[in-house]
Structure 1
Amino acid sequence: MMNDVPESKVESPITANTSENPYEIVKSLLKESVMALQLNEDVYRILEKPIRVLEVSIPVRMDDGSIKSFTGYRSQHSDILGPAKGGIRFHPNVNIDEVKALSMWMSLKSAILGLPFGGGKGGVIVDPRQLSECELENLSRGYIRAITPIIGPEKDIPAPDVNTNPQIMGWMLDEYDRLRGYNVPGFITGKPIIVGGSQGRVEATGRGVVISIAEAAKKLNIPLQGATAAIQGFGNVGSMTAKFLHQLGVKIVAITDIKGGIYNENGIDIPALQQFVSNTKSVVDFPGTNNLESEQLFSLPVDILIPAALENQITTETAPQIQAKILAEAANGPTTPDGDRILNEKGIFVIPDILCNSGGVTVSYFEWVQNNMGYYWKEEEVNAKLEEKMIHAFEDVHKMHQEKQVNMREAAYIVGVGRIAEAYKARGWIKDWSMPFKCKA
């Protein structure tokens, strides 16, 4: 079953509070950016809604022989710069507004990085920990069958996100190829290297976060050797961020995950922790550390704080506690508008998510290019190209931050919106830039 999704909201903890609804948050920021650029109202009207949102029902035969139906979504915000691009998350709190917001953030990320992509995002309402491997594979294949009419290497290119990984991308690739009757490696990114994945893709988001942190530290004259950091979340992004910061001499003193946290003021042995987590599935009780309550992470006196979990973590409750000099948003939408205002008042340098965590989509772009060429790069080349892209994007946003005298988040939105608007103008959608913006902020 497949149907267009109405504007009505799905009940969810995220959508219950309008101030923490990611879709409302991103629309407000888009409006502010259009006004800051003195563009007319038409630009906002084009950008405020995704061009296409699909809701699908995915029937899966469970191991006990019963049939269970899962709800999935795919949102395509814009394709003005190229095919939509964005990950697929499996999570019990996935909802329509979250997926729409994430697709809009993907449009902005691609524009800021100068990638020939629009924004897309997908999700399935499921706790994958409750599924067997067979059930998870059947769900993954069923999702692709359901959304096949609107995806493809020239239309919309999925990738991993929360609770999905290269193996799941491999299953999805195989299902899409079966439906097409031939091999289409550029249909999906983040897949295993043996079937067309890119070297460096697994580490890309975390590596990009660290490149952004290094650039911010230079601007603030903070030496990374001996600097302290705390990380919320130890999945792929959090663990890779920890790995690369550790290699630069940063002392990771605290880490939390879904089960709890750990603390050692002298620094945590990250390589040993990664091995420990691969066996125990949690950082809790790692030898040589003290257990830490998750909420205590925000109040630690560290130089760098990295939210690498889910949305709405930096709020009116947590933001006042933060003592860090740099807040690097490795997660998507970790800061609420009210939390952001507090961070600004405290003078904390925020690297916004649409810049900070864009390393993943950048190397996904590299993977797509390699698939189209049929020629693959060495990891050193991928990493060098990623660093070049990330540094250039950081400089563009920081320059806008200085020119407009706005914070880094506002600057990132201005850069992204400006480039998307320019594309719409080039295609003839926007005729007159000088018309006043009539909507209230």
Structure 2
Amino acid sequence: MSKTSSYSLFDDVCGFVDEAAQYLDIHQGLLDQIKACNSIYKFHFPIRHEDGTYEVLTGYRIQHSHHKLPVKGGIRFSSFVDEEEVKGLAALMTYKCALVNVPFGGAKGGVSVEPKNYNERMLEKITRRYTSELIKKKFIGPAIDVPAPDYGTGAREMAWIVDTYEAFNPEVINAKGCVTGKPLSQHGIEGRTEATGQGVFFGIREALAVEEDMRELGLTTGYRGKTVIVQGLGNVGYYSAKYIAEAGAKVIGVAEWNGGIWDEKGIDIEALKEYQLKNKGFKGFPKGEFIENSIEMLTYPCDILIPAALENQITKDNAPKIQAKIIGEAANGPVTKEAEKILLEKGIMVIPDMYLNAGGVTVSYFEWLKNLSRVSFGKLERRYDQEKFRRLLGTIENATGEEFTEDEKTQLIQGASERDLVLSGLEETMVTAYHAINRVRKEKNIKSLRTAGFILALQRIAQSYTDLGIFP
């Protein structure tokens, strides 16, 4: 899953924006402002290894758009991190947030480092030092810039970040809102861990529900009976595959950087994930065929292909060989601009990353709101709702002379938990956004859902600038 050095995700994103702008009446000055990165912070910092040697690392935090504040975007720990990648990812966050109506500007950050080469103590040192650099330049804060996990980071790193921020800002009452994706013990939110994968599930489900579109692809509606290949079995790939399999689809291929598993009978995702965690890969997994060169699996026959790893995975070189009928971009930028043109000409539906992986930022928004309000969702009303439903059931029993079983009562009277409310909000966001994108696609008579998504996002961002009085 390598990245071509000459490839620029940021240029690709700008290309998509220019393409979408052709369908809108946007002043060129406004378009230039929307595309530009507002703030780019590149810095170097030393860390001392346990053997006494030193290493100088490079960090980034890029704020793409200030049309809404705070800005929002993950922090990536990867040897692939460079300025062009972070710029591209930050830009995607801007359009993603606008598309799903989450009131953030876009940002992204990262450290050019390979996490596997460091122990936990060193990773903590890197994370805290990175955070302190952001604090010094005011590139982090609940009203300024709110990071989140990304490739190579998780809840553990977010806990270190919030702890560091609170140490520097003891007087800030909303300090917990400086970062999302935190552990529950640090005022994270139920459902955040699986949010992006759950969003991928909802997004593809909505695409599959449109009978007219599925007929054009030669598919029936719904997940049942569909064959699926997933690239990447990290957090996003795992939860996407898990929920899709539970809905009746058959996962027949899973690719990772060090090999993949192919089994036309279907793969037990839970068993494969457990094996991966124990063995650091799929080699030796007792069921299915091990594929050494896993990138080839992207071209294997299936109904739905879900790239959930790194960007630049489907290019002009392998796009002609793709056999899937639907590509769901769970990762950021897995299909290049050139590749998408080839795929659309082949009649393949591409569900774009800017929509499909928006589950993470949507639930991050809920977590941020929870931190600002300083109360968990459902905490105030859950018991009240339970008592109200209990009385309602009692009234029904008295009127009918029939009694509900204890199991039925338990199911009917329970109030919504935080997780229930979070997933309900996520589902509403994904459902509404997909059909808005598809409606624009059909109104403009274009093939690309991505172009339709950018049109919708650009309309909303342009309106923000207009309402601010910055542009006519």
TM-score, length-scaled by structure 2: 0.86
Task: Name which of structure 1's ranges 33-42 and 410-419 shifts more when overlaid on structure 2.
Answer: 33-42
Matched, 1:194 2:185: yes
Structure 2 CA distance for aligned equivalents of residues 285 and 421 of structure 1: 53
The equivalent residue for 1:229 is: 228
1:156 to 145, 156, 164: 145
The equivalent residue for 2:294 is: 294
Deviations 1:23-70 (A, max 9, x none): 111111112222221212012210221110101112111111222111
Structure 2 CA distance for aligned equivalents of residues 196 and 428 of structure 1: 37
Structure 2 CA distance for aligned equivalents of residues 313 and 249 of structure 1: 27
Structure 1 CA distance for aligned equivalents of residues 320 and 285 of structure 2: 29
Task: Name which of structure 1's ranges 383-392 and 315-324 shifts more when overlaid on structure 2.
Answer: 315-324
Whichever residue aligns with residue 213 of structure 1, its letter is I
Check whether the contact 1:86–1:159 (CA below 8 A) recurs between aligned residues. yes
Q: CA deviation at 1:15?
A: 7.0
Matched, 1:360 2:351: no
Structure 1 CA distance for aligned equivalents of residues 419 and 144 of structure 2: 27
The equivalent residue for 2:403 is: none
Matched, 1:23 2:10: yes
Deviations 1:201-239 (A, max 9, x none): 010000001111101111224331121000111111111
The equivalent residue for 1:216 is: 207
Matched, 1:390 2:459: no
- Look up the SS of the partner of 2:261 in the other structure: strand
Matched, 1:146 2:133: yes
Structure 1 CA distance for aligned equivalents of residues 226 and 15 of structure 2: 35
Structure 2 CA distance for aligned equivalents of residues 274 and 25 of structure 1: 33
The equivalent residue for 1:41 is: 28
Matched, 1:255 2:232: no
- Look up the SS of the partner of 2:25 in the other structure: coil
Whichever residue aligns with residue 210 of structure 1, its letter is F
Deviations 1:363-400 (A, max 9, x none): 00000001111111311111111000111011111111
Q: CA deviation at 1:100?
A: 0.8
- Look up the SS of the partner of 1:60 in the other structure: strand
Structure 2 CA distance for aligned equivalents of residues 395 and 339 of structure 1: 24
The equivalent residue for 1:264 is: 263
Check whether the contact 2:233–2:273 (CA below 8 A) recurs between aligned residues. no
Whichever residue aligns with residue 430 of structure 2, its letter is M
Matched, 1:304 2:304: yes
2:81 to 94, 115, 122: 94
Whichever residue aligns with residue 454 of structure 2, its letter is Y
2:457 to 389, 412, 416: 416
The equivalent residue for 1:126 is: 113
Whichever residue aligns with residue 229 of structure 1, its letter is V
Matched, 1:206 2:247: no
The equivalent residue for 1:70 is: 57
Structure 2 CA distance for aligned equivalents of residues 255 and 127 of structure 1: 23
Check whether the contact 1:108–1:416 (CA below 8 A) recurs between aligned residues. yes
Deviations 1:262-317 (A, max 9, x none): 01101001111122122122233322111123132122211100011111111112
State, as a whole percentage, how many aligned pairs show the same letter.
Answer: 40
Matched, 1:168 2:209: no
Whichever residue aligns with residue 372 of structure 1, its letter is L
- Look up the SS of the partner of 1:37 in the other structure: coil
Structure 1 CA distance for aligned equivalents of residues 305 and 456 of structure 2: 25
Larger Rg: 2
Structure 1 CA distance for aligned equivalents of residues 139 and 252 of structure 2: 45
- Look up the SS of the partner of 1:387 in the other structure: helix
Whichever residue aligns with residue 135 of structure 1, its letter is M
Unaligned runs of 5+ in 2: 215-219, 378-417
Check whether the contact 1:14–1:21 (CA below 8 A) recurs between aligned residues. no
Q: CA deviation at 1:14?
A: 5.1
Whichever residue aligns with residue 457 of structure 2, its letter is G
TM-score, length-scaled by structure 1: 0.92
The equivalent residue for 2:386 is: none
Structure 1 CA distance for aligned equivalents of residues 462 and 142 of structure 2: 24
Q: List structure 1 runs of 4+ shifted beyond 4 angstroms.
A: none
Check whether the contact 1:231–1:308 (CA below 8 A) recurs between aligned residues. yes
Structure 2 CA distance for aligned equivalents of residues 16 and 93 of structure 1: 9
Whichever residue aligns with residue 368 of structure 1, its letter is W
Structure 2 CA distance for aligned equivalents of residues 222 and 253 of structure 1: 19
Structure 2 CA distance for aligned equivalents of residues 379 and 283 of structure 1: 32
- Look up the SS of the partner of 1:68 in the other structure: strand
Structure 1 CA distance for aligned equivalents of residues 141 and 52 of structure 2: 32
- Look up the SS of the partner of 1:73 in the other structure: strand
